[in-house]
């Protein structure tokens, strides 16, 4: 495969920008280039410098668009692709009315593989090149997603959901079968190519103490695996959890007591936290994950990003499809901005784009592989058109800075603003030029 040289305006982050004026946190090159070779970035910088190294590379001129690292979604549900935008009440009603019936279909391996293709297409159409995904309770659903991602050479963190109570029988496992299936999937997929495994007890309500204990055993046996679950999304959920685990000090203590808490744990939502829980998250290095469109859709509450950050906690941000209402990390930033505004917290555009690239890579401990355009990292690149729609084009006539442009993209952009997405150096969108 020949080298590919992308030309455009290059933006990549070295650190989280402390303010809109923190130019040391990023590199912006007006006439920039990214050289992709064998699925990795061989060089990036000015077009003149990089082109000198390119020799016989195929040149793709994306000017005047922006070249950035591919977006990273740290909490998404693969089996919920067909229930996005399903009218419901709040979390527990929505799960029982829509989610659980849809997930039962994933016992059919053929259905799971077909949906995995649609799922990955939708991610890359929206500029997302890495996802942290919940599969269904069926091992075949995880096999389908990992197989699809392997075929595309796409980085995927995923796991078979473990749940052995408080759900229909069609989507229940047992403590032992959950362990056995997860163990086999870890051996088959974890650290194979661009795949990583996430041990996935759905949440405390749907796992018995026996299953949580065995989840902790899995995490102890495979400390380089991720752990993903949900925490304190909804007041009714918290109250129900307290009745199921009366000895626990609080919701987080359920997971903590079974040895699941640590720096590779992703805690979806984490909205209604007690001070002790915040302290334990900070001490162990676990990561809350902000899911703004989902939180608004289900009326769950307002995520306290600034309060958690003030305690030294690093938060992820994610779509949470299918309670989330858009696959777009741009629209996720849009709604996240509004949630933070309601709490007098500010999300300036540079920090926003750092968050969905290098920031989420930091949460995953993968900045050596994804989240930047640095040489030696994987060639996941998104090409962004700030004038993709008539409304954006009109607004951009008054943009006076890079921050202005990024904020337009953040607030008005969606899949139409994604001119192209490269996964391991391979374009994923049909070239309409």
Tokens, residue 409: 């993209």
CATH number assigned to the domain with residue range 71-364, chosen from the 4 options 3.40.50.1110, 3.40.50.720, 3.30.56.10, 3.20.20.140: 3.20.20.140
pLDDT for 241-270, tens place per residue?
999 999 999 999 999 999 999 999 999 999
Q: Are 123 and 152 in contact (CB under 8 A)?
A: no
pLDDT for 190-242, tens place per residue?
999 999 999 999 999 999 999 999 999 999 999 999 999 999 999 999 999 99
Tokens, residue 344: 């007098």
Domains 4-70+372-427 and 71-364 in one fold: no
Q: What are phi and psi of 53, to 5 degrees?
A: -90, -10
Q: Give the start-to-end residue ranges of the domains of the chain.
A: 4-70+372-427, 71-364
Token pair 């003149």 is found at 48
Residue 87 is predicted with a pLDDT of 82
Low-confidence ranges of the chain (pLDDT < 50): 433
Q: Are 211 and 205 in contact (CB under 8 A)?
A: no
Residue 91 is predicted with a pLDDT of 67
- In terms of C-beta density within 10 A (0-12 exposed, 13-18 middle, 19 or more buried), how is residue 112 classed? buried
User: What is the torsion angle, in degrees rounded to the nearest 10, for the CA atoms of residue 60, residue 61, residue 63 and residue 66?
Assistant: 20
Residue 94 is predicted with a pLDDT of 72
Q: Are 238 and 272 in contact (CB under 8 A)?
A: yes
- In terms of C-beta density within 10 A (0-12 exposed, 13-18 middle, 19 or more buried), how is residue 212 classed? buried
CATH 3.30.465.10 fits 4-70+372-427, yes or no: no
Residue 138's Cα: distance from chain center in Å?
22
Q: Are 65 and 382 in contact (CB under 8 A)?
A: no
Residue 432 is predicted with a pLDDT of 55
Residue 85 is predicted with a pLDDT of 81
Sign of CA dihedral 87, 89, 91, 93: negative
Residue 371 is predicted with a pLDDT of 98
In what helix (H) or strand (E) does residue 226 lie, and over which residues does it extend?
A: strand 226-231
Q: Are 127 and 414 in contact (CB under 8 A)?
A: no
- Continuous H helices in 190-291: 209-221, 235-244, 251-257, 275-284
- DSSP sequence for 45-99: EEHHHHHHHHTTPEEEEEEEEEEEEPEEEEEEEGGGTT-TT---SSHHHHIIIII
> What's the mean pLDDT when you consider all of the chain?
96
- In terms of C-beta density within 10 A (0-12 exposed, 13-18 middle, 19 or more buried), how is residue 351 classed? buried
Q: What are phi and psi of 388, to 5 degrees?
A: -70, -30
């Amino acid at each position: 495969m020949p080298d590919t040289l992308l030309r455009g305006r290059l933006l990549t982050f070295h650190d989280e920008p402390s303010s809109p004026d923190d130019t040391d946190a990023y590199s912006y090159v007006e006439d920039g280039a990214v050289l992709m070779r064998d699925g990795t970035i061989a060089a990036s910088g000015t077009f003149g410098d990089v082109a000198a190294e390119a020799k016989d590379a195929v040149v793709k001129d994306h000017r005047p668009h922006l070249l950035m690292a591919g977006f990273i979604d740290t909490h998404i549900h693969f089996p919920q692709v067909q229930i996005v935008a399903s009218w419901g009440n709040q979390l527990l009603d929505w799960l029982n009315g829509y989610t659980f019936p849809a997930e039962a279909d994933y016992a059919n391996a053929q259905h799971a593989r077909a949906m995995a293709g649609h799922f990955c297409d939708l991610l890359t159409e929206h500029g997302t090149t890495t996802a942290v995904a919940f599969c269904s309770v069926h091992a075949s659903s995880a096999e389908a997603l990992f197989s699809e991602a392997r075929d595309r050479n796409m980085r995927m963190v995923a796991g078979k959901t473990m749940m052995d109570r408080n759900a229909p029988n069609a989507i229940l496992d047992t403590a032992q079968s959950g362990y056995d299936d997860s163990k086999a999937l870890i051996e088959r997929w974890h650290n194979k190519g661009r795949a990583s495994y996430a041990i996935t007890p759905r949440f405390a309500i749907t796992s018995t103490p026996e299953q949580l204990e065995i989840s902790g055993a899995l995490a102890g046996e495979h400390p380089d695996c991720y752990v993903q679950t949900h925490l304190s999304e909804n007041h009714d959920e918290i109250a129900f959890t307290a009745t199921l685990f009366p000895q626990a000090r609080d919701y987080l203590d359920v997971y903590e007591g079974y040895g699941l808490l640590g720096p590779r744990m992703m805690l979806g939502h984490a909205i209604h936290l007690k001070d002790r829980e915040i302290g334990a998250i900070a001490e162990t290095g676990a990561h809350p994950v902000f899911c703004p469109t989902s939180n608004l859709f289900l009326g769950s509450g307002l995520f306290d990003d600034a309060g958690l950050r003030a305690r030294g906690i690093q938060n992820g941000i994610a779509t949470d499809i299918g309670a989330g209402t858009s696959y777009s990390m741009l629209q996720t930033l849009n709604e996240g901005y509004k949630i933070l505004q309601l709490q007098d917290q500010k999300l300036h555009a540079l920090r926003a784009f750092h968050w969905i690239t290098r920031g989420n890579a930091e949460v995953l401990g993968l900045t050596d592989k994804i989240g930047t355009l640095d040489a030696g990292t994987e060639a996941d690149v998104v090409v962004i058109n700030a004038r993709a729609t008539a409304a954006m084009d009109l607004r951009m006539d008054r943009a006076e800075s890079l921050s202005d442009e990024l904020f337009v993209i953040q607030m008005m952009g969606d899949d139409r603003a994604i001119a192209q997405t490269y996964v391991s150096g391979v374009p994923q969108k049909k070239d309409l030029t």
